[in-house]
Amino acid sequence: MAAEKLPFDRAEYETRIAAVRVAMARAGTDVLVICDPANMSWLTGYGGWSFYVHQAVVLGPDGPPLWWGRGIDALGAKLTVMMPQDCIFGYDDTYVQNPGKHPMEDLARLIADHGWQAKRIGLEMDNYYFTAAAWQSLQTALPDAQWVNANSLVNWQRAVKSPAEITFMRRAARIVEKMHQTIMERAEPGLPKNRLVAAIYEAAITGADGHWGDYPSIVPLAPSGTDATAPHLTWDDTPLKTGEATFFEIAGTYRRYHAPQSRTLFLGAPPDKYRRAETAVLDAVEAGLAQAKPGNFAEDIANAFNTSLRKHGFEKDNRCGYSIGLSYPPDWGERTYSLRRDDRTVLQPGMTFHFMPALWLDDGGLEITEPVLITENGYECLCTTPRQLMVKE
């Protein structure tokens, strides 16, 4: 692997591997099987779209990580990972989606070949990419192993970003700014929603400031009117209408690093209740951000936000943010700490999170969100998009 093709220099990967091994020792884990593609990429540089089949990075007690996956994807690993070629292992294609055999049988052989068949082996137990059948296959093939739930062990090592990672996230932030600018320029009554989303994608992928755009882990969420009373709906070909709000939950992405940011667009003159909701959210965001500083807890932001929101007569009973960084579908969150009551994660410089104070009203929704970096003395909002209800009359 040519070092110039890696997203980060080799020293950064070695630092990451060392940090994970320290965490493994604390968890009593000798060998770690990593199936989350974001964790695989963070440790090795691999980033192919191959997570629809079984694959893993295996980190043993010493030496470089091992990449294991489908045979044809081993070719991509050879082009992208930081390890030597003899650390790449591909399984036969007869294992792919074959009910008569499971790829984890091949992974078990690889583990045994390295003498780890009776070690304490950590697994990402609660992960999108690790199935019940995979777990059952490993247990059957490695009966002498001791299994450890190492879910999110690597994720937590990713929580504090390096300076190079922060650079990538700032580039992603420039891209999402351009995406919101495109929405303001292109949105108008009568424009079919799918055509606006196509323009959003064009802005996302062409990138900004000379940096190309990667694909986001979540598609643009862009519900209008009563559809916007619920989160996580996408789009159709319905024309935009005067008198309706549409919230756009989108992210700029650079080399898999995400800067999510949401804004709400109202076509026409917003009713008073939208202005009241806007005032409530903006005041609550300021109250929450005042607690975004090193040494505070994640819950401090949420508690301040919710206290302010209640003063305006609104309630939000779900979390208002989560850790972000490098990610793959179906989620751009890191699945570690959340901004909510009782999350006592200590904020540290280099942590990045999506401050996500969404409100859903009886006839629409309001999302005004920010990607935030904890700095040495406080916080930095990574984007400069105006923090307000966006109005186009």
pLDDT tens digit string along 89-131?
Answer: 999 999 999 999 999 999 999 999 999 999 999 999 999 999 9
Are the C-beta atoms of residues 316 and 360 closer than 8 Å to each other? no
Tokens representing 246 are 């549409």
198: which DSSP letter? H
- Tell whether the model's pLDDT for residue 365 goes beyond 90: no
How sure is the predictor about 87, in pLDDT bands with cuts at 50, 70 and 90? very high
- CA-CA distances (angstroms) from residue 303 to 296, 310, 333, 362? 12, 11, 21, 25
Give the pLDDT band (50/70/90) at residue 364: confident
Tokens of 165: 């990672």
CATH number of 3-157: 3.40.350.10
DSSP state of 55: -
Asked whether residue 4 carries a pLDDT value surpassing 80, the answer given is no
Q: What is 163-392's CATH number?
A: 3.90.230.10
List, for residues 231-263, the tens digit of each pLDDT value: 899 999 999 999 999 999 999 999 999 999 999
- Start-end of CATH 3.40.350.10 domains in the chain: 3-157
Where in the chain is CATH 3.90.230.10? 163-392
Instruction: Give the count of alpha carbons within 13 A of 81, CB side only.
Output: 29
Cα 332 from chain centroid (whole Å): 2
